[in-house]
Structure 1
């Protein structure tokens, strides 16, 4: 029954083709051992991979020894990798859990290439999916977080998602197959273990079939999410004036016209690290005064007059380098319209030009005008976002701004009929 159920799920989800090579991630625990044994029983081409993170002392070495012995018994090639997980976590300022995840999947990716494998099978089962749904619900999530663990994510597959932990243990018992137990799974400290050891028993007293009920709901929501995601994608196209890696600009008026503004904003901002409470505050700020700011770990948001502007704190600003070519000016000289170029009267300049960020109080005479204008007012009139303003540079001759780089030159330094030599200034 177990084999048929797994095979049916693999076929229905198109997880493995008969000719494909599968890497099984083998920890030595019951879930991974069941995965290895059932894929072998179904005659798939299997190799095994084991990570030793050296986090549990002699237990880590015990697990590796068990895995080596098991693979020898069932004649499966085994690849083992040892990691200095604590050192890696400290060096990269990560939690131990995140460090182990990064190390594991980086190695899996390399191993897949090395062995010419097609997919990597991990041993998440139905109970894991139920726990994930409840954890996401507790943390606060959108509809996508309530779909449970997905059967396939790129080359990562999960063939056991339709079987329970009890079914898996029964299968191993029928095979007289031993496994190892991670002692940390029995300690009521990790959030997932609290769900497993405390919450689930209570829910099962209320409904013995609670796992089935949650999974059925998740499957329904998975279908609903497909419709939802199409609608959200269309909404994003309407509300996002700019959608770049380091900056995103949301049209407030258009956002308010959407059927579900809060959901649209959640799907845009939650990937940037903003939680549900922050997004609720941002929504409430839309009817207030502009200028309110919000922050996640990597992003800042400002609620501007007509826009919500998000910019990445880690964006690296490169100070522009200028290249200057001086040529004689005559009647045949052509000035090209190119924002990367500035044509200036060379004899009015004090070279070399200097480049710096603009600052409050800076003034210049925009090309075509006679009077001075504050750079800050010019940028506001041009509807520059806060992010764009923070990354605007000026080129100066002495103390005078001669070019608001890639925007506008100063009229006092423009080429006129009296010009003898032209400085062609461009970005390197």
Structure 2
């Protein structure tokens, strides 16, 4: 291995300096072992972090023992943690791969802060970047997913991206350093392994230098993506509001479906969902699309975007007062006043329903709540969040909006019930 190439790569990408402490993510596999040994040989101060995910039975414990022995031999402080990864994935309804990734990186950051390390070094290399390119191509992540793995992302750095797997293994053999092999890397259960074990060998039969070709393509796409992303950001300024996307403005943009994809994909909407949303732009309002943690609602003029969350029930403060000439009825929408003697049933709070009616303050006839909200030009999302205060079966207040005229304070009132939203 050409160590100078690694030094130049670290310096060129400004990953860290010689004075920095490095926290090395150490699995025990060839890549991470080579990373640790290489950084130590270059004079860097290192600590190591190892996660036991308990996914491979005795093999997981074997890896931990190997890592402990290696760090003791190299006099490197080691941090370890145990995770019940399967339970975490089940409770959160995510894949085991995703659960392991989130657990790992969250814990790495905690350890980095504790040991005062500048960065977390992970052992991704060129082959990983090629596999990521193909994986994202298959998933349809757009141009940004085809730029390969980046040298750094926040506190995460990848000093070995200038090397391929063969160079790494040859380096370990050259210094007489052993490592452990994850048996699941020899199986094709996961998509990445299928790419590594099946797809890439087939591609190499067609073009023996296909890995180099993919890396060069990813490099070109990185430059193209910089220009592309600048255009996307400028477009967002023209079409985005606090509530969502202006439909007409979006449709006037060049490559409007691609713009929509770049806005919604990071929110957990896949390419097929984005296409369905795009097709619905000229349809009737009310259609709802749900992604991972977000949803999009087709409204009249907007594509409304909001995080998936429960509608928060308002906290009400209720007090009763004698109605005297000195009493001043508040005029703000967060406060409602009623003739206490007209309220003959218990009060209850709920979200409005289709078919609900009330008599708006100052009017005599009934009005549908749905019509009132439409007249107020409320969005579909805002309508869903409208609470009503009821006395028995009667709505007495559209909370934060308007009271019912039948329960108003008048010249006959003796006691006033005041309701305030906190």
Asked whether the two chains share a fold, i.e. TM above 0.5, the reply is yes
**2:289 equivalent among 276, 287, 294:** 294
Distance 2:353 2:65 in 1: 64
Question: What is the deviation of 1:92?
Answer: 4.0
Distance 2:145 2:98 in 1: 19
CA 1:408–1:58 in 2, change beyond 3 Å: closer, same or farther?
Answer: same
CA 1:233–1:58 in 2, change beyond 3 Å: closer, same or farther?
Answer: same
CA 1:123–1:386 in 2, change beyond 3 Å: closer, same or farther?
Answer: same
Alpha-carbon displacement from aligned partner over 1:26-48 (angstroms, at most 9, x marks no partner): 11111111111111122111011
**1:317 equivalent among 311, 320, 335:** 311
Question: What is the deviation of 1:86?
Answer: 3.1
Q: Which residue of 2 aligns with 1:383?
A: 377
Alpha-carbon displacement from aligned partner over 1:382-425 (angstroms, at most 9, x marks no partner): 22233222221111233332211111222343445665554332
Q: Which residue of 1 aligns with 2:352?
A: 358
Q: Which residue of 1 aligns with 2:227?
A: 227
Question: What is the deviation of 1:274?
Answer: 2.0
Contact 1:273 1:299 in 2 (8 A): yes
- Which stretch shows the higher mean deviation, 364-373 or 181-190? 364-373
Is structure 2 residue 253 aligned with structure 1 residue 268?
A: no
SS at match of 1:286: helix
- Which stretch shows the higher mean deviation, 109-118 or 203-212? 203-212
Distance 2:190 2:316 in 1: 55
CA 1:343–1:119 in 2, change beyond 3 Å: closer, same or farther?
Answer: same
- Which stretch shows the higher mean deviation, 48-57 or 92-101? 92-101
- Which stretch shows the higher mean deviation, 326-335 or 187-196? 326-335
Distance 1:295 1:86 in 2: 25
Q: Which runs of 5+ in 2 are unaligned?
A: none
How does 1:324-343 map onto structure 2 within 5 Å? Answer: 324-329=318-323, 333-343=327-337
How does 1:241-252 map onto structure 2 within 5 Å? Answer: 241-243=241-243, 249-252=244-247
CA 1:368–1:259 in 2, change beyond 3 Å: closer, same or farther?
Answer: farther
Question: What is the deviation of 1:167?
Answer: 1.9
Question: What is the deviation of 1:190?
Answer: 2.0
Distance 2:173 2:341 in 1: 91
Q: Which residue of 1 aligns with 2:401?
A: 407
CA 1:50–1:297 in 2, change beyond 3 Å: closer, same or farther?
Answer: closer
Distance 2:270 2:83 in 1: 33
Distance 2:323 2:238 in 1: 48
CA 1:427–1:292 in 2, change beyond 3 Å: closer, same or farther?
Answer: closer
- Which stretch shows the higher mean deviation, 144-153 or 297-306? 297-306
| TM-score, normalisation: structure 1 | 0.89
Q: Which residue of 2 aligns with 1:55?
A: 55
Question: What is the deviation of 1:352?
Answer: 4.8
- Which stretch shows the higher mean deviation, 330-339 or 376-385? 330-339
Question: What is the deviation of 1:347?
Answer: 4.3
Is structure 2 residue 189 aligned with structure 1 residue 194?
A: no
Is structure 2 residue 274 aligned with structure 1 residue 279?
A: yes
Contact 1:2 1:171 in 2 (8 A): no
How does 1:119-158 map onto structure 2 within 5 Å? Answer: 119-158=119-158
Q: Which residue of 2 aligns with 1:82?
A: 82
Question: What is the deviation of 1:57?
Answer: 2.9
Distance 2:95 2:403 in 1: 50
How does 1:7-26 map onto structure 2 within 5 Å? Answer: 7-26=7-26
Q: Which residue of 2 aligns with 1:246?
A: none
Contact 2:297 2:381 in 1 (8 A): no
CA 1:356–1:90 in 2, change beyond 3 Å: closer, same or farther?
Answer: closer
CA 1:420–1:254 in 2, change beyond 3 Å: closer, same or farther?
Answer: farther
Q: Which runs of 5+ in 1 are unaligned?
A: 244-248
Q: Which residue of 1 aligns with 2:300?
A: 305
Contact 1:2 1:168 in 2 (8 A): no
Distance 1:337 1:175 in 2: 81
Q: Which residue of 2 aligns with 1:218?
A: 218
- Which stretch shows the higher mean deviation, 233-242 or 358-367? 233-242
Aligned residues: 422
Distance 1:335 1:239 in 2: 42
SS at match of 1:162: coil
SS at match of 1:46: strand
CA 1:168–1:357 in 2, change beyond 3 Å: closer, same or farther?
Answer: same
